[in-house]
Amino acid sequence: MYLDYFQMQDTPFRLTPDTQFYYQYRGHKEALEVLTVAINMGEGFIKVTGEVGTGKTLLCHQLMNSLGDDYFVAHLANPFLSHQSLQMAIADAFGIDIDESTPAHKRIKAIKERLIELNDSGKQVILLIDEAQSIPEDSLESLRLLTNFETEKTKLVQIVLFGQPELEIRLNHPAIRQLKQRITFSYHLQPMDKTGVEGYVQHRLQISGYQGDPVFSHRALNLVFSATRGTPRLVNILCHKALMLAYGAGVKTIQPCHIRSAAKDSDIKTTPAWQRQQYVYPFLMGLASTAFSASALFWLSANI
């Protein structure tokens, strides 16, 4: 592909959540600080939300890597599970060997005993759940019951939910109000600003091994920001395709034309909505002004 052409050792803009390429822009830095503080305080439920593509899964993996040996960390990547299946998945993540025929009360007992065992060994148990907006209602209630397990001084398990904004809607449902009340720390991930996008692109190129002159022109980076509005996943898509286009054209510097072609291929509009409104609004006002003038002239002519 383009790696040899640009003298890179790794693909810089892959979509998989590779923590090697983790870039701590302001939003991710603040979110990680909130998570670290909340976990150190032993809070039961913690929530991180963000739009699609803002890097929630990568943040989840980065948090996993940042927690030391004093923690036992379990991770559920796909929690769209029934009440029973979620309990089975949690038991498996905690290293408990039970089968589906095990009655519900025995599953709960086994999970509690395992949590006590981990606590007695000095481990702080953290359960990280990605795509939490997809958890069914009855399964959310199962999670709430887990946080009832505690000693006199601490919770036996802390649960961190990572989800899209739809998670907020789910939690506002009256049936889930008890769980929502237990969420003491929350953070909403925002897209990157223009400076963040520029730093993000340069960081990933550097991690990939690139050491030459700037690959992306300043105007190209401006267009990347305006087209993606700072969403990391969209930045990755545009930059990856732009590198392929530049390689195919035999050029070393990516220009706005490459970004526009990549955006068109990805069905991403390169003119942001606010800018389109700048053109549409004056046009409509012009039509209204013309119509008003014509009506005024007609009224005057009819009354002279």
Q: Is residue 241 predicted with pLDDT exceeding 50?
A: yes
What pLDDT sits at residue 272?
53
Residue 130 lies in a domain: yes
Compute the Cα dihedral for 101, 104, 105, 106 and give only its sign.
positive
For residues 259 and 227, the answer to whether their CB atoms sit within 8 Å is yes
Among residues 81, 139, 145, 140, which one has the least CA distance to residue 115?
145
- At 104, the pLDDT band (50, 70, 90 cuts) reads confident
> 18-62, pLDDT tens digit by residue?
999 999 999 999 999 999 999 999 888 999 999 999 999 999 999
What pLDDT sits at residue 278?
44
Residue 70 lies in a domain: yes
Expressed as residue numbers, the domain containing 135 is 26-189
Residue 229, both tokens: 């509005």
CATH number of domain containing 100: 3.40.50.300
For residues 247 and 1, the answer to whether their CB atoms sit within 8 Å is yes
> 137-168, pLDDT tens digit by residue?
889 888 888 888 988 788 899 999 999 999 99
Q: Is residue 273 predicted with pLDDT exceeding 60?
A: no
Count how many domains the chain has: 1
Residue 108 lies in a domain: yes
Residue 54, both tokens: 């803002």
Can you give the pTM of this predicted structure? 0.85
What pLDDT sits at residue 271?
63
Residue 178 lies in a domain: yes
